[in-house]
Structure 1
Amino acid sequence: MFNLNDIIRPNVLRMKPYSSARDEFKGTASVFLDANENNLGSLAGENYNRYPDPHQKELKQRIAEIKGVEPDQIFLGNGSDEAIDLLFRMVCRPGQDSMLHLPPTYGMYEVSANLNEVRLDAIQLTADYQIPVEEVLLAIKPETKIIFICSPNNPTGNLIEPESIEDILRAFKGLVVVDEAYIDFASDQSWTNRLQEFPNLVILQTFSKAWGMAGLRLGLAFASAEIISVMDKIKPPYNINEATQELALQALEREEALKDMVEEIVQERELLINALPALATVEHVYPSDANFILVKVKDPNGLYNFLLGKGIVVRNRASLPGCEGCLRISVGTLEENQELLKAIAEF
């Protein structure tokens, strides 16, 4: 049976969160002299002289309506990287506890683990980039507090079999973090539909990919209200700025435009998947449920540098175990994709 108090760091259980001026004030007012703001206004624009809502209530309410969850099941962070870091701080004692991840996968899990002095345990994905569940379960130790699963996985692009994730959720007494940064491009449903079923489940999503808001740095975590309340307790008080909250609310009113953009990206992805195998240097194109494609080529370093010379930047993943010989290629516009294919053909 999962019990959050069993894995939270004792100092986090004991600590009192910072109480901001906006936390202490309740009700309505016309004169604000409590937060040492500049009451003359802001040189950056209207309203920016005031601190933003530290709890992002309006934005969370709108996200909750779209995602089919409750507002108290949502954490908003400065990118999903902030949520990753806070999860480590919440449950992992530096120098004592460990995490488990499944390479090849997103590199920030390892970076955050190292930053927080948390031991890294790794189980390599299978040849078809799925989870060897038995190996994972055998690798779990008493000090293992978090397992990270990226689905669709970065850099491989594929969804992880839901049965494998479910087996781990049921067997593990720590946090299982399912990173769904690319879920909008996949055919499968989000794990947010199963939050009530798994009290140890945390889902990460982002506005950086499908919503096209990478420059604003807005990430999401979905979990039980109990988990979210602890994340809110340890986050910086004003971690989401006013401009980001305003622009995100505007974007959420354009949900139909999101569907159109995703449809176009998926269509371009399939065109690339069909066209790339015909090129002489391409050895294998992996299936993708994301907005990028992992491609195995004969000379990854040579092709990468050749493309750079043409002004085309892709990601060289050839040094990652499990991705030998591979480049990761983001799906571009029709014109960009044609330019890419033409350059690879020239190589």
Structure 2
Amino acid sequence: MRDPRDIVHMILESGPSGLILVDGDARVVFANEHADEMLGFAPGELLGQPIEILVPDRFRDGHPELRHVFDLSPRERPMGIGRDLQARRKDGSEFPVEIALKPMTVEGRLFVLAVLVDITERKRSEDRQRLLIGELNHRIQNLFAVIQSVALSSLSGERSLREARDVFVDRLQSLGRAYTLMTEQEWRGAPLRQILASETSAFADRVTLDGIEVMVKQNAAQSFALLLHELTTNAVKYGALSAPDGSIAVRWSVERELRPNAFVLSWQEDGGPRVAPPTRSGYGRKIIEDTMRRIGKHQIEYAPGGLKYRMEAPLDKVGWVIDDPAHEGL
């Protein structure tokens, strides 16, 4: 029959946590294989070493006093309640740990069993979560600011309440489509072609989309969604899409000969009613000007044959070309 002590030793060695047994002189008398690996020591190398060898240098001088306090009232408990604990490896590097202490009396001698758990991955997850929460808060504040701007431009002026409400809802839906695209891309951005397609989907047979594959940054995606929504709405009411034979050509490219590289987009209407410059600046145009002011410059030409719109902005403000080997992602 196998010696029970061998069975106990096997259980201790195969445990999922680091186990260290310390005697009354605060020297290590046992460390299992998991503890050795976690702390960077060879098997048996920790035996006889003072426990302070595992304490980061900046905390080492105060550790004996903490041990003394524990010895005055030894009981099973977590170590360092309310504090982030760090353990020191043999090479001097540190990592976050949770430590539980259990006093043990054997033949009248006091020992303390320390159970160590490496919580590096948990800390990383918590850090990522904090980062995501901070990013989400930033996005929410940004969205509130955009909605406020849209509300002010939609609900003010001479529109009736019903008309203003419809305009406001349409613009919010445009923003919602852009946010859906960004969610699908895990908030890295939104494909410009998909933004264009979603805003002009009702007239897909009359709108030509021609350009390279560009991923648009979050803030720029909001601006593009509102811009394209206003251009499309204007075309439906007054421009090419108000006539049965009207059409629109949307083209975009990156002009790499410019420094910095410039993103250029053009909107050309054709086949609609004769265009004349407006007698006053409408709220749609104000939104176009306000949104484009954030990322670049633009111009609108009320050509008799159809409205022409052109915008230009530094590529790094807009986004990046998909599958461009010069871009490593944002």
Please say whether Structure 1 and Structure 2 have the same fold, judged by a TM-score greater than 0.5: no
Structure with the bigger RCO (C-alpha within 8 Å, sep 6+) is 1
Specify the TM-score bucket, using the shorter chain as the normaliser: under 0.3
